[in-house]
Structure 1
């Protein structure tokens, strides 16, 4: 059976933090309040790269905006909200989100 190539996403797939920063430079351009470009940093994690802005200490603190995640699999770009550290989950493929359990567990119905 012939090997089938995966569909092309049209995005470049980074293989290093430097390449992720280069890709981000055309897609993620955060600005300080005075209009100057903010510093952009990249952190590698298991399935991609997290790209985020840092601002000078004199910059007023505000929450909002977004971070950019670049997939190591297909180069897909995903913007995620910027939450304070106390409200963030770690960026990893093995994240388990806690759930609240009310009453007995019931199987979910599947649509046909």
Structure 2
């Protein structure tokens, strides 16, 4: 996923958090900020220390990024969103991670083919 598709700055993260527009399942929390006219979606990924050590956290982030890349054609383009991983996602396979993330994105109305 290219850098233009990422929410990187602290101020951008805070803008999305301040909307208080969140959706959750047992594995992920999704915060959404609608941005009409934006050429493509942007995503921020947060994995806390409760997931495990740095290796485990990076493993989870890679799986989330891969899942988003696979779901990219179906994602709503005019939004910024944050994906926050909960501890239950640690140790899940790529297929399970993608399924759980897809479910959370459907709850957030970010997948076009609801």
Q: Do both share a fold (TM > 0.5)?
A: no
Structure with higher RCO (Cα < 8 A, 6+ apart): 2
Point out the structure with the larger helix share. 2
Give me the TM-score of the superposition, normalised by structure 1: 0.28
